[in-house]
Amino acid sequence: MNTPNFPTAATRDHALALLRQFLPLAGTAYAKNRNLHRPGHPHVSRLSPYLRSRLVTETEVIDAARARHGDGADTFVAEVLWRAYWKGWLEMRPQVWRETRAGVLAALARLDRDADLARTYEAACAGKTGIDGFDDWAQDLVTTGYMHNHQRMCFASIWVFTLHLPWELGADFFLRHLLDGDPASNTLSWRWVAGLHTPGKTYLAKADVITGLSDGRHRPKGLAALDFPVNGAPNPKPGPCPQGGVWDHRLPTALLLHEDDLSPDWLLDAGLRPLSTAFLLAADDRSPRPVSPLVKDFLRHATDDCSRRLSADLATIHGPVQGPGAVDALVAWARQTAALQIVTPFAPVGPVAGLLASLDARLAAENIRLVRAMRPYDAALWPHATHGFFRFHQTARNLV
């Protein structure tokens, strides 16, 4: 196993240091070398866990890359924009997330009935299939919480077309272990590999490509030579894109931060002065199976970092709140603050958004408003994710 030297310090300062380190490579070097499978992955930014929790924001990263490379940063900027595309696409089709969650439960039930499938699944998760490359990536993921983007594509392809495992279980495996586990990017990327996102267009991993990109370190054998149709519901038509709420500056207000957005400076700059601030974590809600301690530790430390950074600006800080009693705890906190509204950054489709929906109903019974304020970056980009990424990118690159 070749464990990548992947830094996991969950602080904004560390994220900014990574960005400074990567910036010289964010132009043509990234465009040329980003798919190489090399130890330590020196040709990519390694910023994905920090972008996922917004310890550093997409706008900051895009602006820094363009300032250094101009149009030469277009390939890197496009990769950052993929995150907004996936989120916007899923916001307008939230039933895909619900169907995927149901598919995970159905596939886990299949494992109880099919011993051979269960053995293959356990071997794949443990990196003990005998497939060179695939096994290393699985073990590295469990050990570090990271997998290189091109390796993710190859891994998903082998999972589906060579091992004949349900794609939903693969997406669930990633979401349990990836430090950057994002419901939209993860779910829809697996659907894309399986030929469900773009109907009929699959991604088939090829041994010679893996060997070439890994400088000969991995030489997998027995990979599927042909794909096959994967069962799944057709893509629904996009519904309306959600809009963020607006808070009333006259009301006593509390601030609820969560793992999807830990940079609330834009809210404070807009005049928000909370009586108290709490944090919500939803790692355990990612999967019916146990979530990696690495993921939980990263999110907890990221929350601690946010709390330390904001301690001078925020009067009272409470949290983090997590686990089965999270909603009850937040309702009690809201009562204690004497706030009449709770402002929270808009959470995209996923576990946090599900908890916020439950919280909203409970707070309404207390006559307390829950205002989901949408970051301008999301408000500008998400509505354009109506079709494929190419059309989205043509518009999005002129908006940021």
Residues annotated within a binding site for FAD? 30, 76, 180-182
Bridge-based pairing of strands 253-258 and 317-321 is unpaired
**Rounded to 5 degrees, what are φ and ψ at 258?**
-150, 175
Using CB atoms within 10 A of its CB, is residue 379 exposed (0-12), middle (13-18) or buried (19+)?
Answer: middle
Say how far apart CA 10 and CA 13 lie, in whole Å: 9
**Rounded to 5 degrees, what are φ and ψ at 318?**
-130, 140
Q: Pick out the residues of the known binding site.
A: 30, 76, 180-182
Tokens linked to 393? 């990118």
Using CB atoms within 10 A of its CB, is residue 275 exposed (0-12), middle (13-18) or buried (19+)?
Answer: middle
Say how far apart CA 153 and CA 142 lie, in whole Å: 17
Tokens linked to 174? 């990633």
**Rounded to 5 degrees, what are φ and ψ at 340?**
-105, -5
* 371 three-class SS: strand
Chain-centre distance for alpha carbon 298? 13
Under 8 Å between Cβ of 280 and 352: yes
Rg of the chain over CA atoms, in angstroms?
A: 21
Residues in Cβ contact with 41 at an 8 Å cutoff, skipping those fewer than 6 apart: 4, 6, 148
* 279 three-class SS: strand
Say how far apart CA 366 and CA 93 lie, in whole Å: 31
